[in-house]
Amino acid sequence: MGKGTTAAVIIGLVVLSMAVGGALGTIAAGNEASVSTSVSTVTQTTTTSSVNSSAPYILTMVITTNNLFNSSIGTQPAFFVSGPNGLESSANITLPAHRMIEIVIMNFDSGNATFIGPQYENVTGTINNTMSFYNNNAMNATQGPSGIILQGGQTVTSLSPETEYLSHTFTVPSLGLNIPIAADSTEVAYFTTGGAGSYTWLCESLCGSGANGSGGAMSTPGWMDGLLTVS
Ligand SMILES: [Cu+2]
């Protein structure tokens, strides 16, 4: 919107505001009450969005549980990518090459699952091999309509099945990246991408269906695995 248009909008709003005020004044006069009229103007600021390539690229992933897989398996947990159109499939995740990535994982799964091996309890492939996790920060319906519990966070190098419920992992074996995900938590980690390439990402916990938990979501792209393309 050009300046000329903005000025026209402001004038239009002023005129409209005065007209409404006048109408109110007329009604008020009939009711023998006094109404003060005010004229308000609206100013508009135009923000130019610029991409700062030195800022981290933010990948926000959301894990939800109430996803109908099919009628025989029922619901399964799934990773989604949060994007401009809401929760999008995680089957194909694209990241920029040679860039610091801030990965935010919001896990709404309260379940406990067994990791395929104890090595997946360790954070690897991130800056300092750490991540920060924030528990009990979900909007909690038991705390009343406006209840939000924030109890701080912790930067860790691993999770332990003795102290945390372990839900999932976000693992890219070819990049040495492994982020264990605690139940009901939000986690943030940073890592840098190298050159272009396509890699499998997957969850290394037995969170799917079947006798050993490796079916359903665990073997389906867009649920607990997919392709990560760096380009
Ligand atoms: Cu999983």
Q: Which residue has the higher pLDDT, 202 or 16?
A: 202
Å from CA of 9 to ligand 1 middle: 52
pLDDT tens column, 141-174 = 444 555 555 567 789 999 988 878 899 999 999 9
CA of 207 to the centre of ligand 1 (A): 5
The per-residue pLDDT for range 43-94, each reduced to its tens digit, is 555 455 555 667 999 999 999 999 999 999 999 999 999 999 999 999 999 9
Rounded Cα gap, residues 213 and 182, in angstroms? 18
- Residue 80's beta-bridge partner residues? 62, 89
Under DSSP, the state recorded for 218 is: G
CA 224 to chain centre: 17
Tell me the C-alpha distance between 66 and 209, whole Å: 14
Expressed in angstroms and rounded, the spacing between residue 101 Cα and the centre of ligand 1 is 21
CATH 2.60.40.420 fits 57-230, yes or no: yes
Q: How far is the CA of 199 from the centre of ligand 1 (A)?
A: 18
List phi, psi (to 5°) of 105: -115, 120
Q: Say how many Å lie between the CA of residue 114 and the centre of ligand 1.
A: 10
Q: What is the pLDDT of residues 181-202, one digit of tens each?
A: 988 889 999 999 999 999 999 9
Cβ neighbors of 62 (< 8 A, separation 6 or more) are 79, 80, 81, 82, 87, 105, 106, 108
pTM above 0.75, yes or no: no
| Domain residue ranges in the chain | 1-46, 57-230
